[in-house]
Every structure is written in C-alpha cells, then in structure tokens.
Structure 1
Amino acid sequence: MTPDTAVREAEHAQDDPWGRLNPRLFLVNLSVVATPLATFGATTVLTGGEVNLQVLITCATFLITCLVISGISLMRLITTRYRITEDRVELHKGWLFRSQRSVPVDRIRSVDLTANPLHRIFGLTSLKVSTGDQASSGGGLSLDGLSNRDADALRSRLSELRHARQGLRTADGDTDTTIAELDWAWLRYAPLTLWGVGGVFIAVGSVYRTLHEMKIDPLELGIVKDLEDRFGSVPLWYGILVALLVIVLIGVAGSTATFIEGWGGYRLDRPETGMLRVRRGLLITRSVSIEEQRLRGVEVAEPLLLRWAGGARVKAVASGLGDEDENSSRSRLTPPVPLALARRIAADVLGAEVSPTDEADLAPHPRAALRRRINRALRWVVLIAAPFVGLGLWLTPALVHTGWITALVLLPVCLAFAHDAYRNLGHAVHGPYLVTRAGTFTRRTAAVQRDGIIGWSITRSVFQRKAGLLTLGAATAAGSGVYKVRDVSVSEGLALAEEAVPGLLAPFIERHPARR
C-alpha cells in the first residue's frame, strides 16, 4: 500500500460516521430486574405468604446480581460505537477495559440477525458478523441492541460491499429463491422426541433445587399436601401409571410448543448467489446465513421415533459456523420434515438432481460388526437385570423373579436394536462424496466432499482387533469435524481411505513383504 493510498483511506474512514446502539436497549436491560421480583412473588404464593429469612436473602442476592448485570449492560450501551468503511467493520466498546475490533469485509462470511422476545417488544435485534473462524472468540463481532431498521440497513450495506469485492450478485427479485417453507402439517412430527419428556424432569429438578436452597421442603407445600390428600389412597401402580401419563402429556405439549417457537416462520432460501439463508423463530427470531463455497456436504438425521413416522432432519456440513455449540445450532437447515422432502432439500442444497445420501449404493459391513452389537445388547440386558437378582438373593426372592422377567422382556428388544444398528451401517464413495451411515436411536447419513477431507483417524479397541475390524474417521474442517465409518474390516477400511482420497493415508501404512 502506498502512502497516498493510506492517506486516502484514512480520509474516507474519517468521513464514515460512528453509529451507536439504540437507547431502547436501556429498557431491555432494566427489565432483567423483573426476574427476581417475579421469583419472590411466586415463592410467596407457593408458601402461602410465609417467607423465611433464607428466601429473603436468596431473592435479595438475585436482585443485586441482576442490578449489577443491568449496570454492566448500561455501560456497554454508553460506550459501544461502530462504523462501516469501504473495506472493514470497526467496533469500539468498553470504559475500564477498552476493546477495539476491526474485521475486513473480505473476511466476512455471514451476517446473522437474532431477536429474543424482549428485543422484539422494543423493536430491537442483535447483529452478528461472522468471519468463519471455528473458535467462538476467534473472529467476527456482535452488535446487541440495534433497531430493526438499522440492522437491516447494516446487513444490506455489508452485502453490497461483499458483492463488490467478491463478484457476487443478489438474486433476481422476480426469481423464486425459496428452497423450503414451513408447512404446519410437519407439526405432527413435533412430539416424536424424547427431549420434551426429559425437559419435564429437568424443570422439576430445577424447581426442587431452588426451593431446597431456600430451605423450603417441596413435600410440605400446600399444593403437594392437597394432591396427597386426594390421591394418597389410590394403589401404587395406578399412581405410577397416572404420573407417567401426565409426564408424557406434558412432554408432548412441551415438544410441540418448542417446535412452534423454534420453527415458526421457517424459510430456507438463496437471497444471493452463493449464499444459503435460514430464517425461523416465533418468539426468538433467527436469520442464519451459510456461504455455499464453505459447504462440504449434508447430513440427514433420523431419530428413532421420527424414522418410524417417516421423517428426518437435514443439517449442513459446512466450515466457519463457530464452535461446537454454534455449529450444532447454525447448521440446521430444516425442522423434522417428511423423509422424501428432506432428501429433496439435501439435493437442492448440494446442487444435485438426487442427494448422494439417497442415491449412493452403500456397502454392507462384515458380520463381525453384527456380533459386536449383539454382545453389546447382551451386556445391557445383564447390567439392567443383575441388580434385581443381586438384591433378591440378599433380600427377597421376589426381586430375583423380577430380574429374570426383566431380562426376558429386554432380551428380544435389545437384540432387535442390535440387528437394526447393523442394518444401518454402510459406506460408499459416490462421485465427489464419501457417504457414511450409522446409528439406531438416531440414524445419520452423511455425505462429505472428498476434497474436503484433510486427514484420517483409525481407532481399534481390543474387541475390534480380535474381530479384525476398525473405525475409520474422515477428518474435515466442516461440521462435526470427523465423520466415522464404524466397524469395517481392516482391508476394506484402508481401501476405502485410498479410494476416497488417494495418497493421503499411504505414507502411514506399513507394508510387510509377502511371505514365501
């Protein structure tokens, strides 16, 4: 860069005004104080107006913490300023600890918008500029508290700069760029997950722990006492069945509500050439962009219950989506959808007529892989039934009979799962993709571009060595990082690695001379 060029850029930078976060962010920060007040009110109602010293101390501590958080957020509102020049985005913030960040436009990979319910009430949104670094703090910047208009203007401005520098073009407004939109018929797949039932136990456990910290015994609450007086005389087995039914119903309702909130307004489209965008969310709105040149494949996931109902989910195998947690969230291309639609979306995203996850002719795995899964199923049966038998030999023969009955019931179920897990194993080299499939509780079929594979990992447990098997892992900078071909024979696994990426594994293979 010549001195004259540097001077001109400095002059342009001085002409670009600095922007600030929207003042309405102060109201959002102040609303945090409502949480401890609501907690105190709910505790007062549950205890019938009897509030002990521990409750007061806990709620006061919570209130002080929220006030400190509000103060820190207010300081961020006062000190944060940003601007966009012709070649970079600059962010300055902090008072005691000052932070200055500058991101070149050439490095910007996506601009995402997120708005939680409080932000939406006050017409605000958060803008995140991602540079594609895997580490969460490795690049990019965030502006939390822009007005919707300012956020849209900033995203449009950055898009124009990227177009000018990378030769991209915005999709024609007369062309339908939509790949998929929400169909409320998909709501039938929402209850087919165990997360709703698990969420009930997590919520109950959290409430119990909070009350316990306040020195309140949940079993002594008036509501619990009323339930005990009304249903305390029913048989134990009936109470257990009713409790399980209530938990399942609450879990189903929770899963359905989570689906509606997370995927309301869903749309997958191409807003510009070379870019995928996923917009979704009812209360918390999200807009995630994925650069197609960083796309390395797709993954079609079929959880067990969803698979039985003929549904699946599609995830992008792409680099630059952040750390593990961010990648798990930002890589989701669809909610649970019909399997045929999932395959069509996977093909459309990859620019193919038929998705390689569906078209590839997967090779079966050795029978030794089936034996490993049968042995694993038998171990689970023994581990579950053995405690009943052991306690029965010590306490009462009735538990011994319970253990044997448990084993007899679990044996065919576990063996069925073992055979299903074996049938789901498969691998293939299909055109430019390595395709691998495995799993029974969640069957995952992943198609990864072969030129995106940067290394191989080979793992062999003691049992695998005895069976002549290995697990071959294709390492890539995209998605989960490693996509495994599980329990394949040694010769077949090495041949697969050589066929997928010729020469990559060869320097690490020790060849023994042929015996005479």
Structure 2
Amino acid sequence: MTDVPHHEPELVEAPPVEVPLVEAPLVEAPLVEVPWRRLSSRMLLVHPVREVGRFIPILIGIVLFGGHNGNGHWWGLIGVVLVIGASIMRWATTSFQITPDQVQLRTGLFRKRILTTPADRVRTVDVTEHALHRLLGLAKVSIGTGISDEKKSGMVLDGLSVSEARSLRGELLHRTRVSPQSPGRPVATAPEPLPEREDELLRLDPSWMRYAPFTFSGAITGLAIVGVSFNALGQSDVDASKIRAVQDTSRHLERLPLWLSVIQVTLSLLAVVALLSIIGYVLSFWNFRLTRHSGGTLQVTRGLLTTRSTSIEHRRLRGVEISEPIFLRAVRGARLVAVATGLRMGRGSQRGGTVLAPPAPSRVIADLAGTVLGEIALREAQRNSSGTDAATVTLVPHPARARRRRINRAITPWLLLVILLIVLWATAGLPKWFAVAAAVGALLAIPIGVDRYRSLGHRFVDGFLVTRYGSLVRRRVVLEADGIIGWNERRTFFQRRARLVSLIATTAAGGQHYAVPDLAPEESLRLARQATPGLLEPFLR
C-alpha cells in the first residue's frame, strides 16, 4: 500500500483594500423660535373697569374744573375715554415668552421694558383669582424668584385663562430633569405630559372658625375695623347722639352701676371683634386645601372672594414652624407655616404663600407637621417610611439661670417705669395711680417671664434641629440640618454674667436665622456639632 502525501491548502492573504471614507455633511439642527404669547382678550373687560376706578378722584377733579364753563361733562367723558384707551394699549403692548432657559415679560409702548428671569430661578408660582377675574374665567399668575419681599418684585401675568394659568404653573415648576447627553447634569426643559396624581393632606373644617377670635391678627383686624368706623362716623355730618339705637343704649347704661356698664361695653366690644375676626377668617381661608402632587409640589388653595393657589416644591422645603399665640394656645389651637427656600416671608399671621394650615386644633397641626417633615426626611433618605416625630418630641429644658434671666427681662422695663412715675409724682404732681398701675404691670410680668422660660427647649432628632421659644407667640421651629449653612453665637453683657449664650442657626430658608436662646456654652457647642458634624472643627483647632 502506498501512502499518498496529504497537502494542506495554502492560505493566501488578500491584499488590504482601502475603502474610501465618505464624510457625512454636518446638519445643524434648526432653531425653533419660541413664539411670544399674549394675555387673554377678556382682560379688555377688566382693565378699563379697574383703571376707571383707580382714576375716579382725578376724573371728579376734571369734571369740577371744567364745570366753570359748562363743559364739565365733556371733559369728564374725554378723561374716561383716555383712561380706557390707555388700559387697552396696556393689554396690546404686553406679551410674554417662556423658553427652556428663561422667562421674559415685555411691556410698554413708548418706553419698552423687558423683564427676564432664568427658568431655574423660578421659586414660586401663585395663581390668584379676584372676584372680577372669576366672573370672566381669568387668573393672575405671579412668578416669584424669592429674591426680595417687595411688592414690585417678581413677574406678574395678569389676565390668563384659568386653564392656561394652571398649565403654566406646572410648566414652570416641573421643568428640571436629567439630560441624556450629560448624565447627572440638570437642564431646563419643558416637562413631559404625565398624568399628575393629587393627594389631599388637609381640608378646612368649618368648625375651625371658632379659633379666629383667639388670633392676634383677627383681634387686630376687628379692632381696626371698629376704629375706622368710629373715625368715619366722627368725620361725617352724622350726629351719633341723634341715632335711636345710640340713644337707647346710652339711657340703658346710665341706669346701671359704673362697673356693670364697663363690663357690658367690654363684652359687646369683644363680641363685635369676634364676629369681625370670623368674617376675616372666612374671607382668607374658605375652601382651604393642602394637596400633594406627584410632580413634586405641595399646593395651597384658599380664599372666598379672591382665590389664591400657591405651589411649593418639595426640594425647597427645609422644615416647618408651628405658631401658637397665647390666646390660641389657651384653646389648644395653632397654625403651621412652611420654612422653605425662595418663599417670601410675609408679616402677620398668614405670611403670604408660606402658610400650610390656618388656625386649627393643635393635634391637626401636629399630624400635618409630621407628614410634611416625614417627606423631607424621606427625600434625604434619613429614615424609613415611618416618618419622624420631630414635631411632637419632648424637648431638652434650658438651665435654671435662664429662668432668672427671662423673669428679669420681663419685669425690668416695668420697674424702670415705676421709678420714673414715682419721680414725676413727687416732683410734678402726677397722680400716684399711674405708678400703682405700673407696679401692677410689673407683678403681671412675672408669670409671663416664667412662661417664657417654660417655652424654651431644643433637641436634635432625625436630622432636624428643633427649637422652641416665645410666650405671647410661642414658636416651635423644626429645621432640616442639611439646610443650616452656618452658626452665630451671641453673648450679651447680661448673658455673660449668667453664663448663657444664644445659638443662632443661619439658613437660606424662611426667616434665614433661627435662635436657640439662653443655652449653657457647652450645650451650645454640643448641639452645633451634632447638627452639622465637621463644620465647626476648623474654627476650634
């Protein structure tokens, strides 16, 4: 048998072939021009009425001035036409534009004015519907950047349809998301249309109106209305003594002893103030609703004649403030205010867009505060779904020497006043009952000082700094530790003698500083280190 040699096939490497590269032409994406929008044409019915009402005193002056030559009615008609024409021109020259980067408002004819704000600087969007707006299905949108608390700050779009106003609110507040081209970098863009879920956290209970007379704002409002009424009656030509009801009341009081007359007048005045306080409460908080939206906002809606809707982003919430005026606290009531960045902190009880709950039962306020704080804690992954009890936790009392300082601060002004009145009684013949009244005030100041001390307290729990202070208005502030950007330690002359300090947390939210008064120095340092680990170490070396 002959073996046949087996030859492997020889592999021949083909020469490389160059494939010509064809460069695709660079196609520049077309720039889409964002159109300018106008206010609703229905504002042509609102502007003239509003402007004519504003210029009524001037129009009356024009009519009276032109009445000397018998042409007053023509001058008045010309004035009305000019005012209406100006209001129409105001609508025609107002437009706005919303781009992915900024919001612009253009106004003016002879003097054009363009107000621009970056889209990522928008902090709040308030939707307000006055009575005339509601009749025409319109709303006013106020876009706030949280820079100041002036009336002319921000951007106002007065005269959008209700549906457009609500759509605009969602467009401005829910426009930040992560860009796929640059992971982790937020860019301003229009939100994708997703169905929004709404959860109701609080709704006004009509029985809460009973708390209105016990708030300082309600009492002050009622007294102001009574004072204005008496002042208007005094400046008018009406003689109050000739009114039948006044005469009957006067004769009735004359037949009573002085002490009983004083009691009846006082009770009647308190009844009137209570009634006016309830009316003010209804006007401000009727239909009050606090809702949580899946887009990441809390929305507050309230008002009877004028409906106002305010949206607060979850990511801007830094805590809450529970406010308890002394009379409201006596009937176990309180109110709740948001501590958030970019929100204007107004004055008074309602504080504009920061109110989260009207005067209501303390247990309702505590439960709502716990819900809001629980969402803040979940956002920072500090706790599980059980939330936090920072709104109701027992606080650490302050040292006994703080009680002495609170009492001294309460009675010292009264004692100085007593000394001054005694000197005036001895030298100028001032009636001595002035000094006696001041001495009674000094005695009444002692329990106020004790109550101020009992109100003092603090604690750091679940990532929140809790501080409580005040007597006439006791406040419990719960501030997220991540929102604290610095500390101030204040020691007055009298605090140094008592070995006490006041620790002040600095933040960009709410009132921008919150104090923990009259602490022991070592407790102040411990609390600051616990709330912001590592922040103070460079200054303590």
**1:141 matched to which residue of 2?**
155
Q: How does 1:185-224 map to 2 (within 5 A)?
A: 185-203=207-225, 218=235, 221-223=238-240
Aligned: 1:426 with 2:460: no
- Name the CA distance, whole Å, in 2 between partners of 1:39 and 1:99: 27
- Name the CA distance, whole Å, in 2 between partners of 1:68 and 1:471: 60
8 Å contact from structure 1 (residues 124, 145) kept in 2: yes
Q: How does 1:72-83 map to 2 (within 5 A)?
A: 73-83=87-97
* One-letter amino acid of the counterpart of residue 257, structure 1: I
- Name the CA distance, whole Å, in 2 between partners of 1:223 and 1:66: 38
8 Å contact from structure 1 (residues 459, 472) kept in 2: yes
- Name the CA distance, whole Å, in 1 between partners of 2:194 and 2:203: 18
The alignment partner of 1:152 has SS state of: helix
Q: How does 1:16-415 map to 2 (within 5 A)?
A: 16=35, 18-31=37-50, 33-34=52-53, 73-85=87-99, 88-134=102-148, 141-158=155-172, 161=175, 177-203=199-225, 218=235, 221-223=238-240, 226=243, 231=250, 234=254, 240-322=262-344, 324=346, 328-351=351-374, 353=386, 355-382=388-415, 385=418, 389=422, 392-393=425-426, 399-401=431-433, 403-404=435-436, 407-408=439-440, 410-415=441-446
Deviation at 1:27, TM superposition (A): 3.1
Deviation at 1:97, TM superposition (A): 2.6
The alignment partner of 2:355 has SS state of: coil
Shift in alpha-carbon separation, 1:32–1:198, aligned structure 2, 3 A: farther
Deviation at 1:84, TM superposition (A): 3.5
* One-letter amino acid of the counterpart of residue 33, structure 2: A
* One-letter amino acid of the counterpart of residue 429, structure 1: F
- Name the CA distance, whole Å, in 1 between partners of 2:81 and 2:500: 59
- Name the CA distance, whole Å, in 1 between partners of 2:221 and 2:335: 21
Aligned: 1:443 with 2:474: yes
8 Å contact from structure 2 (residues 455, 474) kept in 1: yes
* One-letter amino acid of the counterpart of residue 111, structure 2: F
- Name the CA distance, whole Å, in 2 between partners of 1:349 and 1:20: 36
Higher helix share: 1
Deviation at 1:464, TM superposition (A): 1.1
- Name the CA distance, whole Å, in 1 between partners of 2:57 and 2:262: 33
Deviation at 1:177, TM superposition (A): 0.8
Shift in alpha-carbon separation, 1:389–1:229, aligned structure 2, 3 A: farther
* One-letter amino acid of the counterpart of residue 278, structure 1: V
Deviation at 1:183, TM superposition (A): 1.0
- Name the CA distance, whole Å, in 2 between partners of 1:294 and 1:340: 25
* One-letter amino acid of the counterpart of residue 133, structure 2: H
- Name the CA distance, whole Å, in 1 between partners of 2:311 and 2:477: 21
Q: Give me the TM-score of the superposition, normalised by structure 2.
A: 0.76
Shift in alpha-carbon separation, 1:38–1:192, aligned structure 2, 3 A: farther
1:484 pairs, out of 508, 515, 520, with 515
Shift in alpha-carbon separation, 1:396–1:249, aligned structure 2, 3 A: farther
Aligned: 1:13 with 2:33: yes
Deviations along 1:203-245, one digit per CA (max 9) or x if unpaired, are 4555677x6xxxx963874125648766288376666545433
What runs of 5+ residues in structure 2 fail to find an aligned partner? Answer: 1-25, 61-77, 179-187, 376-385
Deviation at 1:414, TM superposition (A): 1.9
The alignment partner of 2:207 has SS state of: helix
**2:12 matched to which residue of 1?**
none
Deviation at 1:337, TM superposition (A): 1.5
- Name the CA distance, whole Å, in 2 between partners of 1:197 and 1:487: 31
Identity of aligned residues (%): 34
Deviation at 1:304, TM superposition (A): 0.9
Aligned length: 474
Shift in alpha-carbon separation, 1:331–1:67, aligned structure 2, 3 A: farther
8 Å contact from structure 2 (residues 345, 511) kept in 1: no
Aligned alpha-carbon RMSD (Å): 3.9
- Name the CA distance, whole Å, in 1 between partners of 2:215 and 2:241: 29
- Name the CA distance, whole Å, in 1 between partners of 2:434 and 2:151: 53
1:453 pairs, out of 479, 484, 493, with 484
* One-letter amino acid of the counterpart of residue 335, structure 1: P
Deviation at 1:110, TM superposition (A): 3.6
- Name the CA distance, whole Å, in 2 between partners of 1:121 and 1:167: 31
Aligned: 1:505 with 2:536: yes
Deviation at 1:101, TM superposition (A): 3.1
- Name the CA distance, whole Å, in 1 between partners of 2:494 and 2:242: 54
8 Å contact from structure 2 (residues 411, 443) kept in 1: no
Q: Which has the larger radius of gyration?
A: 2
Deviation at 1:381, TM superposition (A): 3.6
- Name the CA distance, whole Å, in 2 between partners of 1:458 and 1:468: 13
Deviation at 1:102, TM superposition (A): 3.9
8 Å contact from structure 1 (residues 267, 280) kept in 2: yes
**1:49 matched to which residue of 2?**
none
Deviations along 1:227-271, one digit per CA (max 9) or x if unpaired, are 876628837666654543343222211211111111111111112
Deviations along 1:52-102, one digit per CA (max 9) or x if unpaired, are xxxxxxxxxxxx999998776554322101233455433211123322234
Deviations along 1:131-181, one digit per CA (max 9) or x if unpaired, are 4545659985220122323323433554675579579888866x6611111
8 Å contact from structure 2 (residues 344, 510) kept in 1: no
1:493 pairs, out of 509, 524, 538, with 524
Aligned: 1:468 with 2:485: no
What runs of 5+ residues in structure 1 fail to find an aligned partner? Answer: 42-63, 512-516
Does 269-278 or 138-147 show the bigger shift?
A: 138-147
